[in-house]
Amino acid sequence: MSFFLINSSIGRKLVMSISGMFLILFLTFHMCMNLVAIISPEGYNTVCEFLGANWYALVGTAILAGGFIIHILFGLLLSIENRRARGNDRYAVTARPKTVEWASQNMLALGIVILALLGLHLYHFWAKMQFVELQAMAGVEVDSNLLANATNGYGLIEQTFSSPVVVALYLVMLCALWFHISHGFWSSLQSMGLSNSVWLKRIQVISMVYATLLVAGFAVVVIFFFVKSIL
Amino acid sequence: MAKSINITLNIWRQKDAKTKGHFETYALKDISTNASFLEMLDILNEQLVKEHKEPIAFDHDCREGICGMCSLYINGHPHGWETEITTCQLHMRKFKDGDVITIEPWRSRAFPVIRDLMVDRSAYDKIMQAGGFVSVNTGGVPDANAIAIPKPIADEAMDSASCIGCGACAAACKNGSAMLFVSAKVSQLALLPQGKAEAAARAKNMVAKMDELGFGNCTNTGACAAECPKGVSLTNIARLNREFLCAKLKD
């Protein structure tokens, strides 16, 4: 039974949809915690400390990384298979029917954009926070300045989002994320079979609304700190 | 109101499955707008025969939109851009004088080209043979009202059953997925009490066959339903996912 998750097309899609939903859930928490930074600097740093190099935060990080890896590997596998299934000769003329979302046909490209900018995001924050603490715990020589700032997430946000280039790149990532999730959310439910003639339209609308709220929540923080830095 | 137009055709020519294909351009003059698209190709073939050239091979049969035999990818759309018609129901009155029309065969690994615009669609037959039926012990015919089926369910099953197996879904899908076809064929039986008995085995066997034949994985772009000449809905795919996953989880 367990092999159908890998051997059958619908099984592989189930893995894709569950891992995708897991990542959306993570993004929801992430967005909510970001909003704390606007409300209270102390509150935000408390969250940062809580999610530093503590055992529960590390287990969470490992599970999260696993979710990303599964989603990316299955995405690549499915994309390669789908390209092969198209055959050797490509259509000379193609047209996208009106009802087909652009995002739905470009999920891989959107995913790659998100992944590339996620790398930048990890470099900006994770490498300067949890990673520094981990290095210190492992006995590696770490700059004392870095270590002192490892839980000062608020300061790091202020510093990072004062650069217009970084802000622009983050907004590009959020755009890609919006397109990816606006299709991914309902597509995930459809792949799990949780849709019918009444709910198909509803989950498509919910998908748009959810993607918009999620991305707006992230964008607000980025823009807030950029504006704060130039004022 | 007889009117005629001059058109240019870009048609895919391919000698057989193994030979590399290419586009050839043909100019056609004075085509009546009353002609159907396939009649236009008949006229072109007559012209080619007169010129002692090889006519273009294309599939067609009933020419009234029900057999599922005609195919053709016309200007980027299976069965042309008009919604809910097959190629044989497309008419030249939809085209303008001077139009350039590109005609390609279905392109999908599971539908290899046999010749020119003709592809081998027996993959769909093989999926049907894997489970698209109800094993019947023929006995006396029961009364029509012996098994009560609510009207909305009967209608839904009928909508699923309107699939003619033409292959436009797999041809339109960027992933070469046959999910709309398979899901319609699973749904038309799974919705009805007579089909429920074998529903789990049917979903598993048909999906296994579909995967084996090299069709792609569905990513819910919806191009299949948008291009389907019979308007088969995406909700069939959700039903197939549900039937398949429930069947697998019960094992």
Q: Which residues 6+ apart lie within 8 Å of A78 measured at CB?
A: A12, A13, A16, B217, B219
Q: What is the mean pLDDT of residues A131-135?
A: 89
Q: Where does a domain end: B115, B149, B184? A: B115
pLDDT of residue A148: 81
Query: Do B230 and B135 lie in a common domain?
Result: yes
pLDDT range class, residue A143, cuts 50, 70, 90: confident
Residue B20 CB contacts under 8 Å (≥ 6 apart), including other chains: B14
A45: pLDDT strictly greater than 70:
yes
- Residues B240, B128, single domain; the answer is yes
Look up the ipTM and state it.
0.91
Cβ pair A200:B235 closer than 8 A: yes
**Which residues of B are less than 8 Å from A17 in CB distance?**
none
Q: How far apart are CA B194 and CA B134, in angstroms?
A: 7
Distance separating alpha carbons of residues A115 and B180, to the nearest angstrom:
31
CA–CA distance, B159 with B177 (Å, rounded to integer): 20
**Domain end call among B90, B115, B140:** B115
Contact call for B219 and A91, based on CB within 8 A: no
Q: Among A45-54, A154-163, A220-229, which stretch is predicted with the lowest mean pLDDT?
A: A45-54
| pLDDT for the residue A146 | 83
Residues of A whose CB is below 8 A from B174 = 82, 86, 105
Q: Do B237 and A190 touch (CB under 8 A)?
A: yes
Q: Is 0.80 topped by the overall pTM?
A: yes
Closest CA to B104 of B115, B117, B87: B117
Question: Which residue among B207, B221, B243 sits closest to A100, beta carbon to beta carbon?
Answer: B221
Cα-based distances in Å from B29 to A197, B6, B8, B32? 47, 4, 9, 9
Which pLDDT value is given to residue A145? 82
List, for chain B, all residue ranges whose pLDDT scores fall below the cut of 50.
none
Mean pLDDT across A183-189:
97
Residue A2: the pLDDT is 62
* Statement to judge: residues B149 and B108 lie in one domain: no
Question: Which phi and psi (to 5°) does residue A42 adopt?
Answer: -65, -45
Closest CA to A115 of A73, A160, A79: A73
Using a CB-CB cut-off of 8 Å, the residues of chain A touching B221 are 100-101, 104-105
Minimum CA–CA partner of B236 in chain A = A196
Q: What is the pLDDT of residue B73?
A: 97
Query: What tens digit of pLDDT does each residue of B175-198 get?
Result: 999 999 999 999 999 999 989 999
The total of structural domains in chain B comes to: 2
| Residue B78, phi then psi, degrees to nearest 5 | -65, 135
The alpha carbon of residue B166 and the mean position of all alpha carbons in its chain are separated, in whole angstroms, by: 2
* Residue of B166, B159, B153, B171 whose CA lies nearest to B234: B159
Residue B50 Rama label (left phi>0; alpha psi -120 to 50; beta): alpha
Do residues B142 and B101 share a domain?
no
Nearest-CA distance A71 → chain B (Å): 14
The reported pLDDT for the residue numbered A139 is 84
Q: What residues of B are in contact with residue A200 (Cβ under 8 Å)? A: 234-235, 238
Examine the domain organization and report whether B91 and B152 are in the same domain. Answer: no
Q: What is the pLDDT of residue A1?
A: 52
Of B172, B223, B241, the CB nearest to A10: B241
Distance CA(B221)–CA(A79), nearest Å, equals: 13
Mean pLDDT for all residues in chain A: 94
Distance, CA of A190 to CA of A20 (rounded, Å): 13
For the beta carbon of residue A194, count every other beta carbon within 10 angstroms: 15
Closest chain B residue to A17 measured between Cα atoms? Answer: B219
Q: What is the full DSSP assignment across A190-207?
A: HHTT---TTHHHHHHHHH
DSSP class of B56: P
Quote the tokens at residue A122: 């990890």
Same domain, B234 and B134: yes
Same domain, B53 and B172: no
Residues B145 and B93 in one domain: no
β-bridge partners, B118: B115
Q: Which residues does residue B27 pair with via DSSP β-bridges, in sequence order?
A: B8
Tell me the helices (H) and strands (E) count for chain A, helix number first. 10, 0
Residues of chain A contacting B215 with CB distance shorter than 8 Å = 9, 85
| Structure tokens belonging to residue B67 | 């057999």
User: What pLDDT is recorded for position A144?
Assistant: 82
Q: Which two tokens stand for residue A6?
A: 């890998």
Do B77 and B145 fall into the same domain?
no
Contact between B223 and A97 using a beta-carbon 8 Å cutoff: yes
The reply to whether residue B218 touches residue A191, judged by beta carbons under 8 angstroms, is yes
Domain of B199, CATH number, reads: 1.10.1060.10
Task: Note whether B69 and B162 are same-domain residues.
Answer: no
pLDDT at residue B108 in the model:
94
Query: Chain B interface, mutation test: which of A10, A84, A98, most B Cβ atoms within 10 Å?
Result: A10
Q: Are residues B30 and B131 in the same domain?
A: no
Nearest C-alpha of chain B: how many angstroms from A23? 18
CATH number at residue B48: 3.10.20.30
Following CA atoms B189, B192, B193, B196 in sequence, which dihedral angle do they give, to the nearest 10 degrees?
40
Q: Which residues in chain B have their CB less than 8 angstroms from residue A181's CB?
A: none
CA count, 13 A, side-chain hemisphere, B15? 3
Query: In terms of CA atoms, which chain A residue is nearest residue B222?
Result: A100
d(CA B170, CA B126): 15
Task: Tell me which of B115, B136, B151 is where a domain ends.
Answer: B115
The mean pLDDT of A28-33, rounded to a whole number, is 96
Contact list in A for residue B238 (CB cut-off 8 A) is 190, 193-196, 200
Query: Which H/E stretch holds residue A209?
Result: helix A199-230
Are the beta carbons of B244 and A91 separated by less than 8 Å? no
Domain housing B140: 122-250
How many angstroms separate the CA of residue B2 from the nearest CA in chain A? 31
DSSP annotation of A92 reads S
Q: Please report residues of A whose CB lies closer than 8 A to that of B73.
A: 91, 93
User: Do residues B127 and B84 share a domain?
Assistant: no
pLDDT of residue B139: 78
